[in-house]
Structure formats: structure tokens, C-alpha cells
Amino acid sequence: MTEFDAVGFGALNVDKLFKVNEIAKEDEESFIYNFKVFCGGSAANTIVGLARLELRTGFIGQIANDEGGQLLLTDLSRENVDTNAIAITKEGRTGLVTGFVDKNGRRALYVDPGVNDSIAIHETIIEYCERTRLIHLSSFVGEKSFESQKKLVERISKHVKVSFDPGMLYARKGLSILKPLVKRSFVLLPNEKELKLLTGEEYEIGADKLIDEGVKIVGVKMGNRGCYVTDGQIQHKIAPLKVKVIDTTGAGDAWNVGFIYGLLKKKTLLDCGKLGNLVASKCISMTGARAGLPRISDLQQRGVLRESSG
């Protein structure tokens, strides 16, 4: 019996974001004028967004028994994300991302993975994933957790759909190394740069190349140019909503929220892309990856939430 609509499997990080006058290059100086701490991790951001849209969610991950780990665990619980598959280690440190965001919303991120990079798969995790409609994967820095993701997708039943956002960390590995995850993916959600790294092609041809590898749906995030979505038969390039950009941190994760929500609600490919753009626009209007993620009540007035199928 299905218990969850979506379960995430990725890094859990505390995000320390510094607002700066500009992102300093080599041998340059800049200054900080604000500083905030947020809960983060790519897949975790997406799962929190889905939970706010009243989907049943859970998460697979690892934290240390420290202040950062407790902050992350408490936050997920408060967002109604099931945390029973999150391991707590006695040693090591919880993952940390230090980010610098300029006045135009551009950012530079530095990742300290901590215990994120030592996640092991065991039978209880396999059983946990058998209880969800979809599992959403995002990248890790280290190889052990990457191998654990490959092991998981090999073992879970075919009725569990896989959603995969490779991020730059995995895109740099190349398509050949990522094939075990790509071939098992129902939907693959790269941004334009990641797609180019994976396939060596521009977004339309690159998306078709992923479809040829067995992916059913590709959603390409294109920043201020919107998105491109295809299932190999239907293609849509969808313009973004015009909003004032405050911070682009987590914009791609937020886009995933809208798109995956649409898929799980059996909406058309076009409406899924529109929902992705809408949720991303909410995210970049506030500082941090999760502050702007909408609740279902925020979206009910929008036409794209009408019931549809396809």
C-alpha cells in the first residue's frame, strides 16, 4: 500500500548565506552586509515544497548528532516531512553550505558535505521506498552515497517512479557514469548548463538524447528564459513569470516542486512546466531556498491548478 506521494534522497545541509555587494573574484575583495542561516539540501528543498502543497512526503538522508543536524530534523518535522529514514551518526558533522549572494541575486556556493557522503543502503531503506509513488534524487559530493543511490534504483520495484535532478556535481561526471540513474529515471530535471555537460548538445537535442536513454520526460530549467519540457512527442518552451529577483538560491529545486506536483496530479506537460515556473518565481522573490515556497492556498487561485489529465 502506498504511504507517500514522494520521498527525497539527497544531501541535508545547513545553508549559511551571506549577502554581499558583489561576488569577489580571485585577488578581489567584497563586503558582507547581511547573514542568515537556513535549512537546505537540493532534494530536501523540493520535498519540503511538495509537503507545503499537501503531498505525503518522506526523506532519506544522514545528519550528525550536532546542532545543525537537530535544526534540519526539527525543520523537516515541522514541514510535515516524515523523518524515519534519516540516519543520525554519533561521529562527524552535519553538511554545511556557505553561500554568497549579490544584489542581483547571483550566487556562489561552497559545500562541506560532512556525513552526507557516507550513506549506506539497507533493507529498511528499500522497504521505505516501496511505499512511495515517486523517489526524487539529487547529488552528493562523495562516491559512497552516489553508489548507494545506484544500488537503490536497481532494487526498488518498477511501480516506484524516479525523478532525478543531477545538479552540477553529477553533471560533471558525464552521462556514461550516470547511466544507471538516468536509465531508471521517469523524469530528469537538469538545468541548461547541466544538460550540455551531460550530452554535449543544446537543450532540444540534448533532451532528445536523454529520451533515447530511456527517460520518459525531460524538464530543462533555463533561468530567466523559462523552461523547456518534452516527453519525446510533445515539446513546450515556456516563458518565465516576470518578478523582482531577490535570491536565486534554490530556484531549480523550487521549479522541481511545481513540475513534480503537476506530474503526480496527472496534469498536462504544459501545465507541469507552468507550475514549475510559478513556484520558482515565488522562490526567487525571497531570500533562501525555502522561504518563498508556496502553500497550496497560495496557488489555488491560479488557473494551472485546475484539474486536467495527460
CB 11 within 8 A of CB 113: yes
Q: What's the pLDDT at 303?
A: 56
Residue 164 is assigned to a structural domain of this protein: yes
> How many percent of the chain have pLDDT more than 90?
84
The total of structural domains in the chain comes to 1
String of DSSP letters for 175-241: HHHHHHHHHH-SEE--BHHHHHHHHSS-HHHHHHHHHHTT-SEEEEE-GGG-EEEE-SS-EEEEPPP
222-281 tens-digit pLDDT: 999 999 999 999 999 999 999 998 888 889 999 999 999 999 999 999 999 999 999 999
Query: What's the rounded Cα separation, in Å, for the pair 227 and 280?
Result: 11
**Within a domain: 35:** no
Whether 89 contacts 56, CB under 8 Å? no
Range of the structural domain that residue 124 is part of: 4-12+42-93+114-295
pLDDT digits (tens, 9 = 90+) for 171-223: 999 999 999 999 999 999 999 999 999 999 999 999 999 999 999 999 999 99
Q: What is the 3-state secondary structure (H, E, C) of 41-72?
A: CHHHHHHHHHHHCCCCEEEEEEEECCHHHHHH
pLDDT of 201 reads 96
Asked whether residue 160 is domain-assigned, the answer is yes
Q: Is the model's pLDDT at 310 over the cut of 60?
A: no
Confirm whether 105 is domain-assigned.
no
For residue 254, the domain's CATH number is: 3.40.1190.20
Cα 224 from Cα 239, distance rounded (Å): 8
Q: What is the pLDDT of residue 107?
A: 80
**pTM as predicted:** 0.91
The pLDDT-based confidence of 106 (bands split at 50, 70, 90) is confident
- pLDDT at 307 (0 to 100): 47
Q: Compute the distance between CA of residue 262 and CA of residue 142 in angstroms, rounded to an integer.
A: 32
Which amino acid is residue 262, in one-letter code?
A: G
